[in-house]
Chains A and B, each alone.
Chain A
Amino acid sequence: MKLATLLKDVWQSLWRRPATEAYPLVKPETSARFRGQLHYNSQGCTGCCLCNKDCPANAIEMITLDKKNKRFVLRYDMDQCIYCGQCVQNCRFSCLSMSPEEWELAAAGKEPFTVYYGQEEDVKDVLAKFTPEDHPEAAPR
């Protein structure tokens, strides 16, 4: 039985910097395996849609423009994504990856969260198909 068993820790703490992270001022380092924003590279994609099928949050939509010429566009809804990494696991051609650096994903509106990945002209074609009135969330910015 002792009194004040934490005395040593308390004494040390008096001379230590607080353990609190100064987050918005200093961005902490994340590990190399950290699962941040999803990235898609249409090169090598065969359009098998396995990423889309197993996505638990329906955050991915694979839009096939032309399967023969491999014209694919991936619509990614960051706000729905739960960052589980199942799509990356499912992709057999390593077209998908999650960035360990991009994780400060917050915005005042919903619009910045919808991202289209693919060849530039393909994305343009996809966006042209939607008129902003029908799909306000898909309007080009």
Chain B
Amino acid sequence: MMKQKWLYFGVLTALFLLVLFSLGSGLWGSEQSGRHWTEKLFYGVCHQMPDRSFTFNSLPMAVNSRCFGIFFGLFAGWLTIPLSYKLTFKKTWPVKLLLFAVILQIIDFSGNYLQLWVNTNLSRALLGFLLGAGASLSIGDLFYNNNSKK
């Protein structure tokens, strides 16, 4: 039996809005002057460099490709919590996946910083997706009672 349904659906809604807002002015309409409100929303958590961001309707998104991957991964992972609990309940692999995704992020960022390789918007988004999905899946089993059937 799923518990804390209000919390689950509240966070699901918030993550859905997070993904929608991160699409930026291409979805929400560009403003005549000043910084778009979606860019203000994510300013504290993302460098928002246009050449490291996907475009939506020909306009750069409000977050870079890695952040968009993380947000979308968080949302997608959260969405699958009710479906995947048989695979994740009392299992350690989701936490291992999260750790693996964190290590991959560090390796990818460091390699690019040290000019060992050049990552792309797609590769950054995919690695971000893995991190976000891993974070959501790692806490998914907390929404089920300890005495739930596997």
* A, B co-complexed: no
Taking Cβ atoms with an 8 Å cutoff, the residues of A that contact B are none
Taking Cβ atoms with an 8 Å cutoff, the residues of B that contact A are none
